[in-house]
Structure 1
Amino acid sequence: MAEQAASTPAVVCLGESMAVLLPDRPGPLDAVGAFHPAVGGAESNVACALAALGVPTAWISRVGADGFGRRLVAEVAAHGVDVSAVAVDPHRPTGVYLKETGGSAHPHDLGGGRSRLHYYRRGSAASALSPALLDDPAAARLLDGARLLHLTGITPALSADCLALVRALLADRRPGRSVSFDLNWRPALWHGLDHHLLTDLLDAADLLLLGADEAEAAFGIGDPAALRRRFPGPATLVVKDSGHAVTALDRDGRAVAEPALAVDVVEPTGAGDAFAAGYLSGTLRGLDQRQRLRLGHLAAACALTSPGDQGRLPAPAAVAALLAASPADWARTRVGPDGIVSPVLTAPSTVPGTP
């Protein structure tokens, strides 16, 4: 769909992204005056965040031959993401979702700091993703050259063809390319489907990321050690306990836990994708396990203090200082919409900043 990039990205993120309609005010949908368009989706969020972190990244998907599809591809490309293998489906539409945010006095309000997403994606262009993608020259070029392929549990639930594609990608193991898989549990998508299918997909990844709460909902297990036993396949399992700590457990039994930063939350959507991007970036950079977790926390905190799905990290010097902070100074760091305040920073570091 877009002009082919000159070099091969290090990361490929594959999956559906959609047009988003954002409300002009907090409150239930029946109390909103108007909506304005944006774009969103787990895989493209991760791709955009990785690009902002300086990691050359591509996003592979399908969109409809419509205005929402054109906007979606253009906005992802504007973040520096390679969209050369995004296909246009002339028969199916681009998926859409509406965001509902809390914070009004309406009796049906969700509550301050909370949000809910309403999806309209059945029969979307991305649901037609299939193993035929592997024969597409643009997609094959990106997949052949990537050091990392990032998938989520959303894609295999979209259709039987999408499930077949994810299985084919996980079976196509290549030297020098690892696979990360974020659970991204969507109960409505998996309703009526066999959860054992998802278990097998997750266990086939090299790096598995999941939230303790979503793992509890999907599999009845939220404890990191128990999840490590449930999923013995991945070399590393990362369990996110929202707002508290994240634990990385290697196959050899090593476990590292790192507490989350104190954050003045503006909007929670997109924080999990930002964490994934930060952690993956740290992995590709060869950071140690604790610094990978910290970079994930920092990216998530910046997303939590942004009104949209995307946040921006502060300047590289501030990031380096935070990654090297003592446990006490890390615990005394706070991230808010006006910046980051920490004992390791000589002045509050403004967010957004230079990625």
Structure 2
Amino acid sequence: MKKVVVIGEVLVEIMADSIGDGFLEAIGLTGPFPSGAPAIFIDQVARLGQPCGIVSAVGDDDFGIINLKRLSMDGVDISGVSIDPDRPTGSAFVRYHADGSRDFVYNIKHSACGTIPRTPEVAQVLEAADHLHVMGSSLSSSEFVALNLEAARKVKTNGGTISFDPNLRKEILNTPGLRD
């Protein structure tokens, strides 16, 4: 079976208990939930029985642990996930509006998954990829754009396939290199 690989954020999601606008006042919160669009995607791939892996980074903290436990338990190859001893696992605070839309407060740029070290393990996961799934939400920095482009070229050169989820968040639309 082909191995599916994704590159991107692994984080926790913390949700507001009430519908409203923003986080400008103290409100009840629920979570943390293992999250991040790439992590959710690849976890579902694993649960379907498909060989798969993820390239990312988490902090050396409880939020990183709950994500790695879930991914590993469901069968995702997490050897390409670095554990950063100096930066926390990313987070997303979510609040729904009355019309069903939602706003996010992301803590990604300065979190562990804001920079993915190019370790030998990352190279091995990418080399083993027969299919690369590019998440639009993961194109939040020029580094992520470059790593996804590099991986896509490698997968195509090796005869693999690419898919793209255009899940772009308004918060990342002006990322340098995104429109290249």
TM range (shorter): 0.7 to 0.9
The correspondence of residues 112-261 of structure 1 with structure 2, limited to 5 A, is 113-129=100-116, 133=118, 136-158=119-141, 160-172=142-154, 173-191=156-174, 193-194=175-176, 197-200=177-180
Distance 1:115 1:184 in 2: 14
Distance 1:161 1:34 in 2: 32
Distance 1:27 1:79 in 2: 34
Distance 1:182 1:137 in 2: 27
Q: Is the 8 A contact 1:9 1:142 kept in 2?
A: no
Q: Where does residue 36 of structure 2 map in the other structure?
A: 41
Distance 2:76 2:87 in 1: 24
Q: 1:198 to 1:27 in 2, by over 3 A?
A: closer
Q: 1:80 to 1:26 in 2, by over 3 A?
A: farther
Residue segments in structure 1 that go unaligned for 5+ positions in a row: 1-7, 102-109, 201-355
Q: Is the 8 A contact 1:99 1:116 kept in 2?
A: yes
Aligned residue identity for 1:154: S
Aligned pair count reads 177
Q: Where does residue 24 of structure 1 map in the other structure?
A: 17
Q: Where does residue 8 of structure 2 map in the other structure?
A: 15
The correspondence of residues 198-347 of structure 1 with structure 2, limited to 5 A, is 198-200=178-180
Of 78, 91, 94, the residue aligned with 2:73 is 78
Taking structure 2 as the reference length, what is the TM-score of the superposition?
0.83
Aligned residue identity for 2:121: A
Matched residue of 1:162: which SS?
Answer: helix
Distance 2:113 2:26 in 1: 31
Q: Is the 8 A contact 2:9 2:113 kept in 1?
A: yes
Cα drift, residue 161 of structure 1? 2.9
Of 94, 107, 121, the residue aligned with 1:99 is 94
* Larger CA deviation: 180-189 vs 83-92: 180-189
What is the identity percentage for the equivalent residue pairs of Structure 1 and Structure 2? 30
Aligned residue identity for 1:15: G
Q: Is the 8 A contact 2:8 2:144 kept in 1?
A: no
Distance 1:85 1:31 in 2: 37
Deviations 1:70-98 (A, max 9, x none): 12211222332221221011222211111
Distance 1:188 1:27 in 2: 19
Aligned residue identity for 1:19: V
Q: 1:75 to 1:23 in 2, by over 3 A?
A: farther
Residue segments in structure 2 that go unaligned for 5+ positions in a row: none
Deviations 1:35-92 (A, max 9, x none): 3211211111110121222222212211111221112211222332221221011222
Distance 1:144 1:51 in 2: 19
Deviations 1:233-265 (A, max 9, x none): xxxxxxxxxxxxxxxxxxxxxxxxxxxxxxxxx
Matched residue of 1:100: which SS?
Answer: strand
Cα drift, residue 33 of structure 1? 2.5
Higher fraction of helix: 1
Q: 1:81 to 1:185 in 2, by over 3 A?
A: same
Quote the RMSD (CA, aligned, Å). Answer: 2.4
Distance 1:48 1:17 in 2: 11
Aligned residue identity for 1:167: L
Higher fraction of strand: 2
Distance 2:144 2:172 in 1: 13
Aligned residue identity for 2:134: L
Taking structure 1 as the reference length, what is the TM-score of the superposition?
0.45
